[in-house]
Copies of this chain bind each other. A is one copy, B any other.
Amino acid sequence: MPKLWNVTIEAHRNAVRDATLTATAALVAEHGPAAVTMSQIAKETGIGRATLYKYFPDVETILTAWHERQVQSHLDQLAAIRDRADSPAERLEAVLAAYAVLSHQHPGSDLATSLHRADHVSQARQHLHTFIRDLLSDAAAAGDVRTDVPPGELAIYCLHALTAAGALPTKAAIHRLVAVTLTALHP
Q: Is the CB of A168 within 8 A of B153?
A: yes
In the complex, A26 has a CB within 8 A of chain B: no
Q: How extensive is the interface on chain A, given as a class?
A: 20 to 34
Query: Within the assembled complex, what's the spacing in Å between the Cα atoms of A159 and B180?
Result: 13
Query: In chain B, what residue has the closest Cβ to A179?
Result: B149
In the complex, A177 has a CB within 8 A of chain B: yes
Contact of A161 (CB < 8 Å), options: B157, B179, B186: B157
A interface residue numbers (CB < 8 A to B): 113, 116, 146, 148-149, 153-154, 156-157, 159-164, 167-168, 173, 176-177, 179-181, 183-186
New contact pairs (9) apart from A153-B173, A156-B177, A159-B164, CB-CB < 8 Å: A113-B116, A149-B176, A149-B179, A149-B180, A153-B177, A157-B161, A157-B177, A161-B161, A183-B183
- Sampled A-B contacts (18; CB under 8 Å): A146-B180, A149-B176, A149-B179, A149-B180, A153-B173, A153-B176, A153-B177, A156-B167, A156-B168, A156-B177, A157-B164, A157-B177, A157-B181, A160-B162, A160-B163, A161-B164, A180-B185, A183-B184
